[in-house]
Amino acid sequence: MELPKFPYLTFKSKRIEVIDSNHGRIVGDLTIRDVSREVTLEVEYNGKVKSPFGHTSAGFSASTTINRKDWGLQWNVPLETGGWLVGETVQINIEFEMIEEKQAETVA
């Protein structure tokens, strides 16, 4: 079986913009099929919680909308009823969690 030529898409952040205590933006480069374009992820802070194991984590949601043709994704098929099988816009939704790592104490 042949492996796909472009098995991954990547996002590399450039900067974070804080809007308020629960909202922000992450601006970075989204690479799909070796084409990179700058996108802005709208981010919402979902809160912080301590697990039963003593770890503190914070949850976030991020989203953006892109036009797939900007990355060279052109494939499509006309439908018998009119229109096209694949729309031009793609909604990207990300749910992620960050776990706080305890700093090791240094002895002077």
The CATH classification number of 10-99 equals: 2.40.128.110
Q: What is the pLDDT of residues 69-97, one digit of tens each?
A: 999 988 899 999 999 898 999 999 999 99
What does the block give as tokens for 108?
């002077």
Q: Residue 37: pLDDT band by 50, 70, 90 thresholds?
A: very high
Q: Given this model, what pLDDT does residue 108 score?
A: 67
How buried is residue 24: exposed, middle or buried, by Cβ count under 10 Å (0-12/13-18/19+)? middle
pTM score, whole prediction:
0.79
